Amino acid sequence: MVGSTASNPAVADGLAVSVQGLSHSFALGDQHLPVLDHVDLDLRPGNFVAILGPSGCGKSTLLRLAAGLERPAAGRITADGRTINDPDPERVLVFQDPTLYPWRTVRANVGLGLEARGLLRTQRHRIDEALQLVGLEGFKEAYPHQLSGGMAQRASLARALVNDPRLLLLDEPLGKLDSLTRLSMQSELVRLWQEKGFTALLVTHDVEEAIFMAERIVVMSPRPARILDEIVNDLPYPRHRGDERMHGLRRRALALLGLDASW
Amino acid sequence: MAIAHGERARAPLAPASIKAAAGYSLPTFAAVIWFALGAVTFGWPQAQAWPYTLAFALGATGLGLLVLLSALLAQFWPPLAQRVRTGTPWIALLGGLFLLWEILTAKLALLPVPFFQPPQSLLEVFLEDYQRLGESVLRSVWLLARGYLIGAVAGVVLGMAMGWSPKVNYWSHPILRFIGPLPATAWLPLAFFIFPTSASASVFLIALATGFPVAILTWSGVASVSSAYYDIARTLGANSRFLILKVALPAAMPHIFVGLFMGLGASFAVLVVAEMMGVKAGLGWYLQWAQGWAAYNNMYAGLLVMALMCSGLVALLFRLRDRLLAWQKGLVRW
């Protein structure tokens, strides 16, 4: 991780996140469905951590808890030492669906956070900056239905970045994109992370994506999710997909997920 | 490539030739029908002398000239050409129907007279009774506007509250379910008894008729807003005021407009009944009054004006929707 810290000069901007003894369950009628089981995890400021696990294991719940959209049944998550109870614009969630508001133009969608906090008048220029950052400056006045899937996801990324988040929570943000767009967006996300210096927590079930993008890959069990093991990828950025050293990491991840028979 | 070029060069020619043909023949045909209407009205002796026969004949001839003139001007001004092309078939048909009407009533006297009168007697009403008709329209619109606006605002507010607060929903929903289906006109006797004036009672009834569908549809609109929309706004620092006004309300707007259209239709019905039963003013009253005097031509005129008023108000609401929901254009068929 030394190499990545060096390539990430703005590292002080990121939040330090600590997940401590976190358990959570959903109520299903009178039954309780446990989804997270004693999860402990520490993210240093500016870390890029991927959470890898089978679908439906509770990874997304962890992100919702970190965003403050729900409160955990047991344990806690802290940001810079303070317990997370409520949403805060310094911790922004990017969903698998772009969830842009169809009645707003791209510009108005990206400005949502500024508008909600009453900063629109003074900081309008940040909308343009964010759109430039994701390469959508030509589509300010477009409505979401006029965008392709990749462009819509870029717009939702700009909507998150305009708030200068210190923690970016990525809930399979590339899961619904076609594979070519997905590859280019992976590199772009890494570039944005290096430029901005936020802490990033990525949930994915794509082994290759996790290993290509993150410094640490936390592998989780099927529901209720526990941490099985952690894989450290200290290869420097920019990384190359063909790098031989990635193969070993991939094999280890697949083994932890019980899929190494296909290797 | 060469073929494509050739096609592109030839393509504008075909519509142009159609335009030229339509530009001459159809407006000419329409004008001839209106000229015929004028000639028949003026020249064919009548079984009974009808007032304004000459005025009607002149009006028909003038309209024919107007059709010819606009077809001529359309050659030089393309926006008019479009209107002429879409409007002319209807103008021709209307002229034909008037001609048939004129012949069946004034000329051949085939239809029983007090109920079926020739078109010139409709003209007579508009030329002699325009003051009373105009005042009736204004009174109807004023009564409708008050009731509709109060009902629409109350409906949206109640629907939003129901969609937002489970407590409000718990207490309001059964009441709406129970009372809502009751036609607002059923409250008429009670409302006229409770309210100090028949006008205030009518405003209340129109508001009730409008508010019910608006409230139900606003509520269902808010209830169907994706929870992800709220999650996004909350993580970006939105408070509940923002969530209600900037997320729930615009997201529910397509539903709200369905309610507003339904409410407008219901409000017309209540308006007419209220004016016939108690208000003693407005178009509903005018119809009632015309019937009392067996003035059937006044009644037809009143119906025509009412149709214009109602369709005009619906068109106005469509205009408003097109403005507010322009973003839907690419998503939904209008």
Shared-domain flag, residues A78 and A112: no
Percent of chain B at pLDDT exceeding 90:
71
pLDDT single digits (tens) A106-129: 999 999 999 999 988 888 899 998
Shared-domain flag, residues A149 and A194: no
pLDDT single digits (tens) A160-216: 989 889 999 999 988 888 888 888 889 989 998 998 889 999 999 888 999 999 999
Residue A21 resides in a domain: yes
CA distances from B301 to B109, B121, B199, B275, B297 (A): 21, 9, 24, 17, 6
**DSSP SS3 for B59:** helix
- Using the beta-carbon criterion (under 8 Å), do A95 and B234 form an inter-chain contact? no
Whether omega before A238 lies within 30 degrees of 0, making that bond cis, reads: yes
Give the per-residue SS3 of B175-242. HHHHHCCCCHHHHHHHHHHHCCCHHHHHHHHHHHHHHHHHHHHHHHHHHCCCHHHHHHHHHCCCCHHH
CATH number of the domain at B130-325, please? Answer: 1.10.3720.10
- Using the beta-carbon criterion (under 8 Å), do B331 and A159 form an inter-chain contact? no
> From the centroid of its chain, how far is CA B189?
28
**DSSP SS3 for A34:** strand
d(CA A166, CA A168): 7
Chain A residue closest in CA terms to B323: A103
Mutate: best of B236, B242, B243, partner A, most A CBs <10 A: B236
Contact A233, A212 (CB under 8 A): no
User: Per the structure block, which two tokens stand in for A56?
Assistant: 């439906």
Domain that holds residue A67: 2-90+166-262
Pairing of strands A48-52, A216-220: parallel
User: Per the structure block, which two tokens stand in for A226?
Assistant: 């526990």
Contact A140, A111 (CB under 8 A): no
Contacts of B250 in chain A (CB under 8 A): 101, 103-104
Mutate: best of A86, A112, A146, partner B, most B CBs <10 A: A112
A/B interface, count of CB pairs below 8 Å: 70
d(CA B93, CA B83): 16
Pairing of strands A167-171, A91-94: parallel
Domain count, chain A: 2
What average pLDDT does this structure show over B136-162? 96
- Using the beta-carbon criterion (under 8 Å), do B226 and A99 form an inter-chain contact? yes
Shared-domain flag, residues A236 and A181: yes
Shared-domain flag, residues A175 and A153: no
The reported pLDDT for the residue numbered A7 is 42
If you ran DSSP here, which 8-state letter would residue B327 be given?
G
Among candidate residues A110, A138, A164, the one where a domain is terminated: A164
Shared-domain flag, residues A171 and A82: yes
Residue A145 resides in a domain: yes
Shared-domain flag, residues A81 and A22: yes
Cα of first residue to Cα of last residue in chain B, in angstroms, is: 38
Shared-domain flag, residues A11 and A125: no
Cα-based torsion angle of the residue sequence A133, A138, A141, A146 in order, rounded to the nearest 10 degrees: -100
Contact B225, B246 (CB under 8 A): no
The predicted complex's ipTM stands at 0.86
B176-184 LR contacts (CB < 8 Å, sep 24+):
B176/B212, B176/B215, B176/B216, B180/B212, B180/B216, B183/B209, B184/B208, B184/B209, B184/B212, B184/B266, B184/B270
pLDDT single digits (tens) B83-108: 888 899 999 999 999 999 999 999 99
Shared-domain flag, residues A110 and A160: yes
When comparing pLDDT for B32 and A244, which is higher? B32
The yes-or-no verdict on residue A55 having pLDDT over 80 is: no
CB-nearest partner of B238 from A69, A102, A116: A116
d(CA A53, CA A226): 10
| CA nearest neighbour of A109 among A157, A149, A177, A166 | A157
- Using the beta-carbon criterion (under 8 Å), do A112 and B229 form an inter-chain contact? no
pLDDT single digits (tens) A226-243: 888 898 888 888 888 888
Among candidate residues A111, A132, A164, the one where a domain is terminated: A164
Residue A95 resides in a domain: no
Residue A23 resides in a domain: yes
- Using the beta-carbon criterion (under 8 Å), do B236 and A113 form an inter-chain contact? yes
**Distance (Å) from the C-alpha of residue B331 to the closest C-alpha of chain A?**
7
Shared-domain flag, residues A29 and A85: yes
Would an 8 Å CB–CB cutoff place B330 in contact with chain A? yes
Cβ neighbours of residue A95 under 8 Å, at least 6 residues apart?
A156, A171, A173, B228, B231, B232
| CA nearest neighbour of B297 among B52, B104, B55, B122 | B122
Contacts of B237 in chain A (CB under 8 A): 87-89, 113, 116-117, 163
Mutate: best of A103, A106, A143, A145, partner B, most B CBs <10 A: A103
User: Per the structure block, which two tokens stand in for A218?
Assistant: 């936390």
Backbone dihedral angles phi then psi of residue A28, each to the nearest 5 degrees: -120, 95
**Distance (Å) from the C-alpha of residue B248 to the closest C-alpha of chain A?**
11
CB-nearest partner of B236 from A95, A104, A163: A163
pLDDT single digits (tens) B203-213: 999 999 999 99
CA distances from A248 to A143, A238, A242, B115, B301 (A): 44, 18, 12, 95, 88
**Distance (Å) from the C-alpha of residue A100 to the closest C-alpha of chain B?**
8
**Distance (Å) from the C-alpha of residue B245 to the closest C-alpha of chain A?**
11
Cα-based torsion angle of the residue sequence B260, B263, B264, B269 in order, rounded to the nearest 10 degrees: 180
d(CA B155, CA B256): 9
Query: What average pLDDT does chain A have?
Result: 87
Query: What average pLDDT does chain B have?
Result: 89
In this structure, of B141-145, B232-236, B326-330, the range with the lowest mean pLDDT score is B326-330
Among candidate residues A140, A164, A188, the one where a domain is terminated: A164
pLDDT single digits (tens) B176-202: 989 888 999 999 999 999 999 999 999
Largest CA distance in chain B: 82
Whether omega before B45 lies within 30 degrees of 0, making that bond cis, reads: no
**Distance (Å) from the C-alpha of residue B291 to the closest C-alpha of chain A?**
50
The angle at the Cα of B120, spanning B115 to B123, to the nearest 5 degrees, equals: 100
Shared-domain flag, residues A170 and A119: no
Q: Is B182 exposed, middle or buried (0-12, 13-18, 19+ CB in 10 A)?
A: exposed
- Per-residue pLDDT band at B226 (split at 50, 70, 90): very high
Chain B residue closest in CA terms to A146: B330
In this structure, of A170-174, B59-63, B277-281, the range with the lowest mean pLDDT score is B277-281
Chain A residue closest in CA terms to B235: A87
**Distance (Å) from the C-alpha of residue A155 to the closest C-alpha of chain B?**
13
Contacts of A97 in chain B (CB under 8 A): 228
Residue A96 resides in a domain: no
The yes-or-no verdict on residue A145 having pLDDT over 70 is: yes
Residue A204 resides in a domain: yes
Q: Which residue has the tokens 């309610």?
A: B259
**DSSP SS3 for B277:** helix
Shared-domain flag, residues A153 and A178: no
When comparing pLDDT for B264 and B294, which is higher? B264
Cα of first residue to Cα of last residue in chain A, in angstroms, is: 27
Give the per-residue SS3 of A76-100. EEEECCEECCCCECCEEEECCCCCC
What average pLDDT does this structure show over B314-323? 93
CATH (domain of A179): 3.40.50.300
| CA nearest neighbour of B230 among A242, A69, A250, A21 | A69
The yes-or-no verdict on residue A2 having pLDDT over 80 is: no
Chain B residue closest in CA terms to A115: B238
- Using the beta-carbon criterion (under 8 Å), do A95 and B232 form an inter-chain contact? yes
Residue A223 resides in a domain: yes
Contact B154, B219 (CB under 8 A): no
- Per-residue pLDDT band at B112 (split at 50, 70, 90): confident
Chain A residue closest in CA terms to B242: A116
Chain A residues at the B interface, defined by Cβ less than 8 Å, are 64, 67-69, 87-89, 91-93, 95, 97, 99, 101-104, 112-113, 115-117, 143, 145-146, 159, 163
Contacts of B331 in chain A (CB under 8 A): 102, 145
The reported pLDDT for the residue numbered B16 is 46
Shared-domain flag, residues A183 and A121: no
**Distance (Å) from the C-alpha of residue B166 to the closest C-alpha of chain A?**
19
The reported pLDDT for the residue numbered B57 is 94
In this structure, of A34-38, A204-208, B3-7, the range with the lowest mean pLDDT score is B3-7
Contacts of A84 in chain B (CB under 8 A): none
**DSSP SS3 for A44:** coil
Sign (positive or negative) of CA dihedral A88, A91, A97, A98: positive
Chain B residue closest in CA terms to A163: B236
